[in-house]
Amino acid sequence: MNGKLEYWVKIPIGPIHPALEEPEKFIITLDGERIINVDVKLGYNLRGLEWIAMRRNYIQILYLAERICGICSFSHNHTYSRAVEEMAGIEVPERAEYIRVIIGELERIHSHLLNLGVVGHTIGYDTTLHLSWLARERVMDILEAIGGNRVNYSINTIGGVRRDLEEKHIRAILDMIENYRNEVMPKIEEIFLYDPTVEARLRDAGVIPKRIAIEYSAQGPTARGSGVKKDVRYNERLSVYPDLGVKPITPKEFTGVVKGDVFDRMVVRVGELWQSMELIERAIDQMPEGKIKAVPKDNTLLFQLKKAEGEGIGRYEAPRGELIHYVMAQKGKDVPAKWKMREPTFPNLFAIARALVGEQVADVPVAIASIDPCLSCTDRVAVVDANTGRKKVLTERDLLRLSIEKTRELNPNVRAKPEVVGVGCPRGGVL
Amino acid sequence: MNVLYATLGFLGIYAYVSFASLLWGGIDRKLVARMQRRMGPPLLQPFYDFLKLVGKESIIPRDANRFFELAPVLALATSIALLAYTPLGFEPIFGTKGDVILFIYLLTLIGFLRVVGAVSSGSPYAQIGAQREMIILVSREGPMMLALFTILWRLSDLGVTKPFSMGTFYEHNVWELGTPMSIIGAVVLLLVFLAWLASEIEVGYFDIPEAETELAEGTMAEYSGRHLALFELANAIKAFVSASLVVAIFFPWGISGYIGLTGLPAVVIDLLFHTLKVFAVLFVSMSLFRAVTGRLRINQAVSLFWTRMLPAAIVGALLLAIDTLGVVA
């Protein structure tokens, strides 16, 4: 106690908390209702994906990349493909790029609608959650019609896309956009731009000034909400996006002021919903006929990749911000030597933790939700903190042993021997 | 003999109000769900919840003290005691002179016991919830008491047998005063009361102490099993009783007189009609309010009460008082 009493209250937000969808810990030190310190603890959600990836070939990693996160499943997949394409020098057909744009923007619509609802929920305004998630169903239905799944549509592959857009899909997409323009977006705008409750709660909450946003390298709507004109699609002149006239959206165009608070981030998201719909329409207009895959057969592709050497970097503007995938090839193997990704949540998380100091405890959930954290994307290192404070790294074998022990404890009738086999990936000499 | 009847009637009222208030919980959830384009839980969900919680083990935190277990029992006891002074379509059973003050004290006591229980639990979430509950308790009572006492003072001026009692509302009501000023004043005070009611049952703007997404149910964070069930029932009864106060002040009319009933049937019909009115008031103040608003920050809610509701209450009170005071000749 250092001989003096501390009147501060420490609140753990997480690892399990109703405001967080995923396990992550924010230790918040409070003086009354005012926050004086925020401590971010990462690492509750490690799944060892990079480790698993080094035992799988390039095409199998596509499906792994998709499962990094359920919301930006296409973005991860797409970025990984771009990295491998850059590494192997594969030219993607133009029609495939357009289809990628369409799917990517559809995904952005569904991600932003989801986040708008989540932010509404964290301020206790559940009606917004239910309305925006109801609207989101329509995009997900379209994605299901195109890719076969609501969440992991696995439409992307290295050097193109796996499914072509048919006439009925295009008609469904245009119908959906029509419906959104006329019915959904007016409601969303009314709620998130003009509702007094929303304005009272979101204005001046979780302010990230422009300087902090640049210093902490905030990404995506978090950076654009603070007035930083940063959008990979625009800055890097990514794929066919320049032809479609993409521009970074800042709240200035909608409300005339840039404060960098939660409200501004929501305004950016509403603006991007409009922009995404426009982009999809233009992409459908300009989409040429032609091939959708650079290499038609997967085994030919694998053979080509086996010969590849060097490294590649893929960048893409996921709904949450810039996504970077790095792939390093080993010559003569169809397994990458290294696969590494950087998610937008990682820099955003520390920017928001910095911004929360000095604000009220009521702003914590809404500020965290406003960066749309994807914590399962972010976690990398498994350090298990025991009760004694000792640190220990659990390997896959330990986890498997623990889970088998747990199963036996719960159900003694299970007779199988606890053997560490059959986890679904070919085993090297590591274990 | 009289005591026996009073006790039996009291038990009957307790059973009925418990049923009606839990039923309202179900209706409210269903209505809000329909407003949000959802199906919603079954109508009897609060009963299922209550029965399930009663049957479950109650977990008591290691750091909790005696009051943690005592508070829910006392809260339910207080809410039962409150029923003796609540107007339910007929005069309160134990109504007497000045019982309004007792009524307000008991109503506040339930909130206070929640705070005591939360502070005793030793959880930081509950403690912050308790802080917020105290702050908002202090802010909301002022405007409400000012409004309530003005109305009672004005009504007792007309000559009632028991001044400053709940029974006053069955002899005269605010709309009877008749002057345009008093009607405008009464409407203003009705708004004050609806806001107070929303704050009392913690919905919409005022769901601050229990803020689920911020404090993980705040004051109720550590409660589980039987103790939580007792608190849930106490809160449901509190909602019903608070709405009964608003109904008694502003919509006190019964229907038994019009269909010519007397005795027990009249009491039953009035009780049912009163329940209907309570549900209507709760619909406005709870369901609608919950569906169209989010939660405010604590400082915003407090400033709402001190800078909007208190002036509104003062204006309403002055408008009511103005013809008695003879300012406008």
pLDDT of residue B1: 53
B125, B204, B213: residue with CB nearest A365:
B213
What is the domain partition of chain B in residue ranges? 56-323
Contacts of B125 in chain A (CB under 8 A): 11
CB contact (8 A) between residue B293 and residue A18: no
Per-residue CA distances from B148 to A207, B49, B155, B249, B314 (Å): 42, 35, 11, 8, 11
CB contact (8 A) between residue A18 and residue B292: no
Compare all CA atoms of chain A with the CA of B300 and give the residue at the minimum distance: A200
pLDDT of residue A385: 55
Do B84 and B93 contact (CB within 8 A), yes or no? yes
pLDDT of residue A1: 43
Measured CA to CA, the distance from residue B217 to residue B129 in angstroms comes to 8
* Nearest Cα residue to A191 out of A153, A233, A135: A135
B38, B291, B295: residue with CB nearest A123:
B295
Do A142 and A173 contact (CB within 8 A), yes or no? yes
Structure tokens given for B123? 């959880």
Measured on CA atoms in the order A316, A322, A328, A334, is the torsion positive or negative?
negative
Would an 8 Å CB–CB cutoff place A16 in contact with chain B?
Answer: no
What is the DSSP-derived secondary structure letter of residue B171?
T
Assigned CATH for A52-339: 1.10.645.10
Distance of CA B170 to the CA centre of its chain: 19
B36, B215, B296: residue with CB nearest A201:
B296
Would an 8 Å CB–CB cutoff place A364 in contact with chain B?
Answer: yes
CB contact (8 A) between residue B128 and residue A33: yes
Contacts of A120 in chain B (CB under 8 A): 294
pLDDT of residue A16: 78
pLDDT of residue B27: 92
Residue A416, classified by CB atoms within 10 Å of its CB into exposed (0-12), middle (13-18) or buried (19+), is exposed
pLDDT tens per residue, range B250-260:
887 777 777 77
Structure tokens given for A132? 């925006």
CB contact (8 A) between residue B298 and residue A122: no
Whether the link from the prior residue into A15 is cis, omega within 30° of 0, is yes
Would an 8 Å CB–CB cutoff place A18 in contact with chain B?
Answer: yes
Measured CA to CA, the distance from residue B207 to residue B71 in angstroms comes to 21
pLDDT of residue A65: 86
| Å between A356 CA and nearest CA of chain B | 14
pLDDT of residue A424: 40
Strands of the sheet containing A9-13, edge to edge, are A9-13, A25-31, A34-41
| Å between B175 CA and nearest CA of chain A | 33
Measured CA to CA, the distance from residue B185 to residue B175 in angstroms comes to 10
Do B101 and B164 contact (CB within 8 A), yes or no? yes
Do A336 and A56 contact (CB within 8 A), yes or no? no
Measured on CA atoms in the order A290, A139, A84, A332, is the torsion positive or negative?
negative
Would an 8 Å CB–CB cutoff place A360 in contact with chain B?
Answer: yes
Q: What end-to-end distance do the CA atoms of chain A give, in Å?
A: 45
pLDDT in tens, chain A (431 residues): 455 556 677 778 877 777 777 777 888 888 777 888 888 877 777 777 777 788 888 888 888 888 888 788 888 888 999 898 888 888 888 888 898 889 889 999 989 999 888 888 888 888 888 888 888 888 888 888 888 888 888 888 888 888 888 888 889 899 989 989 998 888 888 888 888 888 888 888 888 888 888 888 888 888 888 888 888 888 888 888 888 888 888 888 878 888 888 888 888 999 999 999 989 998 998 888 888 888 888 888 888 888 888 888 888 888 888 888 888 888 888 888 888 888 888 888 888 888 888 888 778 888 888 887 776 666 554 444 556 655 555 566 666 677 777 777 776 766 655 454 444 433 333 33
CB contact (8 A) between residue B294 and residue A120: yes
State which residues of chain B have pLDDT below 50. 329
Do A213 and A268 contact (CB within 8 A), yes or no? no
Confirm whether residue A50 is marked as ligand binding.
Answer: yes
pLDDT of residue A375: 66
CB contact (8 A) between residue A125 and residue B36: no
Would an 8 Å CB–CB cutoff place A230 in contact with chain B?
Answer: no
As annotated, the residues of chain A forming the CATH 1.10.645.10 domain(s) are 52-339
In B, what residues contact A, Cβ < 8 A? 35-38, 124-125, 127-128, 131-132, 204-205, 207-208, 211-216, 291-300
Structure tokens given for A50? 């990079």
What is the DSSP-derived secondary structure letter of residue B205?
G
Measured CA to CA, the distance from residue A36 to residue A30 in angstroms comes to 6
**Chain B contact probe: residue of A130, A261, A266, A356 with most B CBs at under 10 A:** A130
Would an 8 Å CB–CB cutoff place A245 in contact with chain B?
Answer: no
| Å between B224 CA and nearest CA of chain A | 16
Contacts of A128 in chain B (CB under 8 A): 294
Would an 8 Å CB–CB cutoff place A260 in contact with chain B?
Answer: no
| pTM to 2 decimal places | 0.81
| Å between A9 CA and nearest CA of chain B | 7
**Which 3-state string (H, E, C) describes chain A?**
CCCCCCCCEEEEECCCCCCCCCCCEEEEEEECCEEEEEEEECCCCCCCHHHHHCCCCHHHHHHHHHCCCCCCHHHHHHHHHHHHHHHHCCCCCHHHHHHHHHHHHHHHHHHHHHHHHHHHHHCCCHHHHHHHHHHHHHHHHHHHHHHCCCCCCCCEECCEECCCCCHHHHHHHHHHHHHHHHHHHHHHHHHHHHCHHHHHHHCCCCCCCHHHHHHCCCCHHHHHHCCCCCCHHHHCCCCCHHHHCCCCCCCHHHHCCCCCCHHHHHHHHHHHHHHHHHHHHHHHHHCCCCCCECCCCHHHHHHHHHHCCCEEEEEEEECCEEEEEEEECCCCCCCCCEEEEECCHHHHHHHHHHHHCCCECCHHHHHHHHCCCCHHHHCCCCCEECCCCCEECCCHHHHHHHHHHHHHHHCCCCCCCCCCCCCCCCCCCCC
| Å between A230 CA and nearest CA of chain B | 31
Q: What are phi and psi of A315, to 5 degrees?
A: -130, 145
Do B181 and B191 contact (CB within 8 A), yes or no? no
What is the DSSP-derived secondary structure letter of residue B23?
H
